[in-house]
A = this chain, B = another copy of it.
Amino acid sequence: MSESRAEPAAPGASFEVPVAFADPQYREAVVDLLGVIAYGEISAFERLVEDARLAPTLEDKVAIASMATAEFAHVGRLRVRLEELGADPFAAMAPFREAIDRFHEHTAPADWFEGLVKAFVGDGLADDFYREIAAYLDADTRDLVVASLEDSGHAAFVVDRVRSAISADPRLGGRLALWGRRLMGEALIQAQRVAADRDALSALLAGGVDRPGLDLAAIGRMFTRITERHAARMAELGLAS
């Protein structure tokens, strides 16, 4: 953990009165963050169920559908917290629909294995990114965000299916490695769009008078960490990154 990943100014005892929320820009940033995570999960749910159609067996289909429903199960708590913050949950999600929908349009899997890699790598990237941001939040929000990112517990299934397919057909490994890079590239493009549009979210990372933030070097280190974890996930699947 680098020295710039300081604890947030407000420790946030019980949820009802976290001091941090006295700053309207902080509240706005949290509403944005919960909104983008919630829409990301709704959207991932839909796409996973759609991609499950490509499953070679009913058992594989049910495994992917289980990942999808685990993802969707997090939405409820995010919605409740958004309401507690006085926000309309669906209005909070709205600004992020275009970027997330575009990510999915540009990364529609051509087959079952691309779908599996997307589920594993795409989900992992989003989780890493939100976990990084969570370090700058009050304790309650941080706990909620981290709980929302809990592994759906189906990663072993994906790793097993992808690794055995690659060992049966090594050319598939080359194609899926390229696919993994495309997923990473598209995620960065859309994250960049969101950062450019949403001042409060960007300001959260930049810090405030009473809140430490990230300087350019720290942002660089954050992206290095995210890239390293992406490479580790690709390696877990038996793919070059």
Q: Give the B-binding residues of A (Cβ under 8 A).
A: 39, 42, 45-46, 49-50, 52-53, 57-59, 61-62, 65-66, 69, 72-73, 75, 90, 93-94, 97
**A49 surroundings in chain B (CB, below 8 A):** 45-46, 49-50
Asked if A42 contacts B65 (CB within 8 A), the reply is yes
A/B interface sample: 27 pairs, CB < 8 A: A39-B58, A42-B58, A42-B61, A42-B62, A42-B65, A45-B49, A45-B65, A46-B49, A46-B52, A46-B53, A46-B65, A49-B49, A49-B50, A50-B50, A57-B90, A58-B90, A58-B93, A58-B94, A58-B97, A59-B90, A62-B75, A62-B90, A65-B72, A66-B72, A69-B69, A69-B72, A69-B73
Q: Give this chain's copy count.
A: 2
Closest 4 CB pairs of A and B: A49-B49, A69-B69, A58-B90, A59-B90
- The binding surface of chain A is classed by DSSP as helix
**A93 surroundings in chain B (CB, below 8 A):** 58
**A61 surroundings in chain B (CB, below 8 A):** 42
CA of A58 to CA of B75, assembled, Å: 12
CA of A66 to CA of B69, assembled, Å: 9
